[in-house]
Structures are given as C-alpha cells and as structure tokens.
Amino acid sequence: MRIALQTAAIVLAVTAAIPALLALGRSLGGTRPFGVPPSWLLPVLGVQPLWVIAALVHLHRAERAERDHTRPAGRA
C-alpha cells in the first residue's frame, strides 16, 4: 500500500506541474523549436518521461516487495 501511495503522490505532483510547464512554454514567446510551439513540446518532453520513470520505479519496487514477502506465514 505504501508503494502505491508514494507512486500516486509522484503522479499527482507531475500532474500539478503541467500548468507550470504550460506557463513556462508561453513565456518563451516566439521561439518555435522544430516549428512546434513550446507549450506543446514542454509537456511532451517534460511530463511524459516522468510518467515512464514513475511507472518503472513503481514496477521495480512492487516486484521487490513481492519477492521479499513470498515466505509462508509463521516461518522466519
């Protein structure tokens, strides 16, 4: 449960950061790297990698917790 709540907190923080990224993209003004507005690039390049990293870390931690707690109850 703790692993899931920590991952949910990370996802919530990333989601809350999206408006800040969009504001940063608008503040860059007329720059258009690769012909794409920064308000489109920043969420894709800034948020999407964080989702992937959060998912991989969650998967690794959940697998490790499952592996560590597979002993039958009552045995030490």
Mean pLDDT score of the chain: 78
Tens digit of pLDDT for each residue in 33-68?
A: 778 777 777 777 777 788 788 889 989 988 998 888
Q: Which residue has the tokens 């894709």?
A: 44
Whether 73 is in a domain gets the answer no
Indicate whether 38 belongs to any domain. Answer: yes
Note whether residue 74 is domain-resident. Answer: no
Q: Does any domain span residue 6?
A: yes
The residue count of the chain comes to 76
Domain-embedded: residue 76: no
- 15-32 mean pLDDT: 73
Domain count, the chain: 1
Please report, rounded to a whole number, the percentage of residues in the chain having pLDDT higher than 70: 79
**Looking at the predicted structure, is the pLDDT value of residue 30 above 60?**
yes
Whether residue 75 is contained in a domain is answered as no
> Containing domain of residue 11, as a range?
2-68
> What is the predicted pLDDT for the residue at 56?
92
In a domain? residue 41: yes
Q: How many CB atoms lie under 10 A from the CB of residue 48?
A: 11
Q: How far is CA 50 from CA 16, 17, 18, 69, in A?
A: 13, 11, 12, 28
**pTM to 2 decimals?**
0.58
DSSP 30: T
Whether the Cβ atoms of residue 41 and residue 25 lie closer than 8 Å to each other = yes
